[in-house]
A and B are shown apart, each in its own frame.
Chain A
Amino acid sequence: EAAVTQSPRNKVTVTGGNVTLSCRQTNSHNYMYWYRQDTGHGLRLIHYSYGAGNLQIGDVPDGYKATRTTQEDFFLLLELASPSQTSLYFCASRTLSNERLFFGHGTKLSVL
């Protein structure tokens, strides 16, 4: 089974803080995605990438930046964290030819 590793698993920060969430997959997957999960909203797409150096805007991008430094690594950046960004964040990846998604175990972020 393909592995997607997220770090940290838990993060607490204050309003205005700077946070970086990391996602790494070593499956040679082209596509990587960042979602946030909130009660009543399911998984909402923040940013995604088709490959190293590529970035695409998702459905709820405000307040978030992303960077895909390598094929393996996809980062989500919150430069001025706000309480509304308190959420559970999931990273997922897939190959070019197969739509099946592989999820990381999630990062629980609390912004106080």
Chain B
Amino acid sequence: GEQVEQLPSILRVQEGSSASINCSYEDSASNYFPWYKQEPGENPKLIIDIRSNMERKQIQELIVLLDKKAKRFSLHITDTQPGDSAMYFCAAIPNNNAPRFGAGTKLSVKP
């Protein structure tokens, strides 16, 4: 199975509402969990990350939560805007192994 599972694959929300993306991972050695936003024709861009010594991190409208015991982490975008429409990827990175990515979430924010 997938080493990093990401859900949902498609997410449609109304402008101003919140959007949540959930990921789970298998490798208990994972200690760094970045989130990437990818616009069409572009490479993935890091938007926020969290390390294993934290449970919550917020940068403006982006919130990431990490539950190491459950091996789950999530991205929450509050007050979504049409400019938030994009593909989003989570990743789990162990210090001693290669990064694995989720399958991606296509977020559409409708005005």
A residues at B contact (CB < 8 Å): 31, 33, 35, 40-45, 48, 56, 58-59, 90, 92, 99-101, 103-106
Contact = CB atoms under 8 A, between A and B. Distances in A.
Interface residues of B, number: 22
Contacts of A106: 43
A31 B32 CA distance: 16
Nearest to B4: A42
Mostly, the A contact residues are strand
Given A35-B101, A58-B98, 13 more contacts: A40-B9, A42-B101, A42-B102, A42-B104, A45-B99, A59-B100, A90-B44, A99-B31, A99-B32, A99-B93, A101-B46, A101-B91, A101-B93
A58 B104 CA distance: 19
B60 interface: no
Contact of B98 (A42, A48, A100, A104): A48
